[in-house]
Structure 1
Amino acid sequence: MVLKHIHDTNMRARGEPERVFTVNRIKIPKQLDELVEMQIESANPVLKVLFKIKAELRGIWLTFMRCFNYPVKENTMKLAAVWFTLSFG
């Protein structure tokens, strides 16, 4: 119902005639654990743990790198400079 309401609102805003809106299926992103199980289903437990660790480290790295993107880049640099100088105090 929410998707239909959004669709109808968008159609009215564009000035287009309303069309019938149907949802056949909704794709949901898979959870990390399900993805691990699918990719290395027959692998040994050590490989599963290593894959999970690798995926977590990749997520941490990507989140860290977002600190250097446009909206927060200046604040990140300022805070890094303050933190670096306070470390010697």
Structure 2
Amino acid sequence: RGERWQLDARAQGFQRLEDPLSDTDRPFYRLPSLTANANWQLDNGLYTQWRSNATYFWRDVDERRVPEREAAIGSRLHLTPAVGWR
């Protein structure tokens, strides 16, 4: 019956106006965040869906003073496939 796609790409960051800012208070960035969603509907009532997001997080800190677990540097992949009938 049809298919529908939705694609999105973002880069997000912000600045805090406090001065001076300690390394633990610095904001993180999402560079990039990519999303792909799709729906497929068949004539027999069967449908499939796909939801996905991949994001890389980064924070500008002096890694010698901030423990790695608090640096908020890394990536995330989220996948959600689905099959159903209506």
Q: Specify the TM-score bucket, using the shorter chain as the normaliser.
A: under 0.3
With normalisation by structure 2, the TM-score equals 0.20
User: Which structure would you say has the larger RCO, counting Cα contacts within 8 Å and 6 or more residues apart?
Assistant: 2
Larger Rg: 1
With normalisation by structure 1, the TM-score equals 0.20
